[in-house]
């Protein structure tokens, strides 16, 4: 443990709806980071492994999901309970879903202009950077139902937290890694009205 450089937070959330808008999570993150750094001074990276609870709802209901007709047909396979166990099908779906996930985080908004994903709003609002989209990170029934198995990493880099928070709070700017931005640039899809069954 003395050589540890990275700490991973698996689940951090505001648990009481009535406390929305009060940033207990931010306080908790900062407190845990400070305590961990006292115990393990070589820690440099603090990341989460986070769910994407609203991705499939957006994919099924949004009018501006960037997909082709071919993609739409392929995405119907997500209704099969064991689609992820077929390597060829999973690879085809990955090529469509990862760029869609990047679009979901970087471009998709509610009618009021907010990020759709509540977990993303929490972490980005606390100064994290969207670091990585993890394909098949959660293949539990809930993970498949809510996010097609996708999970993400948010990176808390101490020297960037304040800058990222200010950019998000004041301009709605999302801090994202080049890897996530490349996925978005690679989407190259027409905007079609897509509603899955």
Which residues have C-beta within 8 Å of that of residue 41, sequence separation ≥ 6?
none
- Both tokens of 26, joined, read 């931010």
CA distance 102 to 112: 20
Task: Give me the catalytic one of 11, 13, 23, 50.
Answer: 50
CA distance 22 to 131: 25
CA distance 48 to 130: 10
Local structure of 99: helix, strand or coil: helix
Task: Give me the catalytic one of 26, 103, 123, 147.
Answer: 123
CA distance 64 to 131: 24
Burial of 130 (0-12, 13-18, 19+ CB in 10 A): buried
DSSP structural state of residue 135: T
Residue 50 catalytic? yes
What residues are paired with 154 via a beta bridge? 130
Residue 103 catalytic? no
Task: Output the CA angle 117-122-127, nearest 5 degrees.
Answer: 120
Catalytic residue numbers?
50, 123
């Amino acid at each position: 443990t003395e050589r540890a450089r990275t700490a991973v937070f698996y689940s951090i959330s505001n648990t009481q709806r009535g406390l929305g808008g009060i940033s207990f999570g931010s306080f908790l993150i900062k407190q845990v980071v400070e305590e961990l750094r006292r115990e393990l001074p070589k820690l440099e990276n603090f990341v989460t492994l986070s769910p994407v609870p609203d991705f499939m709802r957006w994919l099924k209901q949004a009018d501006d999901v960037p997909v082709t007709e071919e993609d739409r047909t392929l995405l119907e396979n997500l209704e099969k309970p064991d689609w992820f166990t077929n390597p060829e099908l999973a690879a085809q779906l990955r090529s469509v879903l990862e760029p869609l996930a990047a679009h979901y985080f970087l471009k998709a908004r509610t009618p009021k202009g907010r990020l759709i994903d509540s977990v993303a709003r929490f972490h980005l609002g606390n100064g994290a950077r969207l670091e990585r989209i993890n394909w098949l990170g959660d293949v539990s029934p809930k993970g498949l139902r809510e996010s097609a198995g996708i999970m993400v990493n948010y990176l808390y880099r101490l020297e960037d937290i304040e800058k990222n928070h200010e950019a998000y709070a004041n301009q709605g700017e999302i801090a994202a890694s080049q890897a996530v931005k490349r996925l978005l640039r690679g989407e190259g899809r027409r905007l079609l009205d897509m509603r899955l069954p």
